[in-house]
Amino acid sequence: MTDSRPLASVSLDVDNLWSYLKTHGDAGWEQRPSYYDVFFPTVLPVLDELGIRLTFFIVGRDAAVPAHAPHLQAVIAAGHEVGNHSFEHEPWLDRYPPDRIAREINDAEEAILAASGQRTIGFRGPGYSWSPALFEVLVDRGYLYDASTLPTYLGPLARAYYFWTARLTPAQREERATLFGGARDGLRPVRPYRWALPSGRTLLEIPVTTMPGIKIPFHLSYLLYLSRVSETAMIAYLRTALMMCRVTGTEPSFLLHPLDLLGGDQAPALRFFPGMDLTGKRKIELFARVMRTLGTHFSLVNMSTHAREIIARPTLASRTAVSGRATMPAAAPAPAGQSGA
Ligand SMILES: [Zn+2]
């Protein structure tokens, strides 16, 4: 480490155009329309200028497209790393049987390795989905960490909004019944901890950080939403969240998405999505301001760097019993001093 500031890890889930259309229930997603050709040439120079090296969580289905390989190689050449974001990006992954989960992880890992030249050692579930069986697969394959949890009480609210806005059949609604998790996800720790798995093994969990205490998200999509009220409100909210992180000793894991940087002018098919009336230029201005604010208080690193630092510390919280969020009772609260805020 070159400075003594606490760390903040930065990651970007590369959800592609087709996956937004699919989740929204729009026709045409089966042709897998992609904005890789626009997104990566836009984002890589911006990150370079800001001096940020982050983790791109890649969907296997996209890595398997030959035309995408040069973009993933450019990601590695620029000093970033790639993570596994499942093969099909189905947010109901947690409801799959273990053999299908294993295929999702393995196929994505192989496709990303073939395209980028880098083997993935971290995972984030699509739509924050996870299950004990999924964690066992990650440990089997030697993964360093999972980053699939979003500890917030707002999951059911997000799901209600999604059901209200998407065009879904009754069968699709049933399939998506646990999307974005339940209120009990708010009970999970904000700070990193180890899952204790049914097999007796453990896995490091780095949650997407929500504001310590009240557990409201502050990832960039959420901040952009606030910027509609005013940019000052957005920055004030971010500063409050970061101050709460500092006073609770929470090193944030900060989450980004392509639509945080792409404007409606660059992805016209997604104009239905909140915030897509902003131009790409405006989003990059806001992005740069947010990242500079984050970088004022924290040393920004990728996920595996953060994971290795956490593992090396004697203070890593020991174990939180794993339980499936759809079918099991709420996870046992972590013992005192282990749960973060
Ligand atoms: Zn995603």
pLDDT tens figures, 72-127: 999 999 999 999 999 999 988 988 999 999 999 999 999 999 999 999 999 999 98
29 alpha carbon to ligand 1 midpoint, in Å?
15
3 alpha carbon to ligand 1 midpoint, in Å?
32
Q: What is the reported pLDDT for 319?
A: 66
Measuring CA to CA, how many Å separate 61 from each of 24, 28, 33, 93, 281? 18, 16, 12, 15, 29
2 alpha carbon to ligand 1 midpoint, in Å?
32
Rounded to whole angstroms, the Cα distance separating 208 from 186 reads 12
Stronger pLDDT, 65 or 328, i.e. the higher one: 65
Phi then psi for 247, rounded to 5 degrees? -70, -25
CB atoms closer than 10 angstroms to residue 64: 18
Stronger pLDDT, 320 or 16, i.e. the higher one: 16
Rounded to whole angstroms, the Cα distance separating 112 from 83 reads 8
Tell me which residue has tokens 């984030």: 124
Q: Above 60 in pLDDT, residue 338?
A: no
pLDDT band at residue 318 using 50, 70 and 90 as cut-offs: low
89 alpha carbon to ligand 1 midpoint, in Å?
6
**β partners of residue 321:** 196
Most confident of the ranges 37-41, 173-177, 316-320: 37-41
Q: What is the reported pLDDT for 302?
A: 98
CB atoms closer than 10 angstroms to residue 217: 20
19 alpha carbon to ligand 1 midpoint, in Å?
8
18 alpha carbon to ligand 1 midpoint, in Å?
11
211 alpha carbon to ligand 1 midpoint, in Å?
21
pLDDT band at residue 336 using 50, 70 and 90 as cut-offs: very low
Rounded to whole angstroms, the Cα distance separating 143 from 105 reads 11
Q: What is the reported pLDDT for 340?
A: 33
- In the numeric block, which tokens belong to residue 237? 């909210």
88 alpha carbon to ligand 1 midpoint, in Å?
10
Most confident of the ranges 32-36, 171-175, 187-191, 236-240: 32-36
129 alpha carbon to ligand 1 midpoint, in Å?
10
Q: What is the reported pLDDT for 23?
A: 82
85 alpha carbon to ligand 1 midpoint, in Å?
7
Q: pLDDT digit string (tens) for 247-304?
A: 999 999 999 999 999 998 998 888 888 888 889 999 999 999 999 999 999 999 999 9
Q: What is the reported pLDDT for 158?
A: 62
Question: Is 291 buried (19+), middle (13-18) or exposed (0-12) by CB count in 10 A?
Answer: buried
Tell me which residue has tokens 């013992």: 335
Contact call for residues 128 and 109 (beta carbons, < 8 A): no
Q: What is the mean pLDDT of residues 139-157?
A: 85
Q: Above 60 in pLDDT, residue 341?
A: no
16 alpha carbon to ligand 1 midpoint, in Å?
8
3-state secondary structure the chain: CCCCCCEEEEEEECCCHHHHHHHHCCCCHHHCCCCHHHHHHHHHHHHHHHCCCCEEEECHHHHCCHHHHHHHHHHHHCCCEEEECCCCCCCCHHHCCHHHHHHHHHHHHHHHHHHHCCCCCEECCHHHCCCHHHHHHHHHCCCCEECCCCCCCCHHHHHHHHHHHCCCCHHHHHHCCCCCCCHHHHHCCCCCEEEECCCCCEEEECCCCECCCCCCECCHHHHHHHHCCCHHHHHHHHHHHHHHHHHCCCCCEEEECHHHCCCCCCCHHHCCCCCCCCCHHHHHHHHHHHHHHHHHHCEEECHHHHHHHHHHCCCCEEEEECCCCCCCCCCCCCCCCCCCC
Q: Are strands 202-205 and 193-196 parallel, antiparallel or unpaired?
A: antiparallel
134 alpha carbon to ligand 1 midpoint, in Å?
16
136 alpha carbon to ligand 1 midpoint, in Å?
21
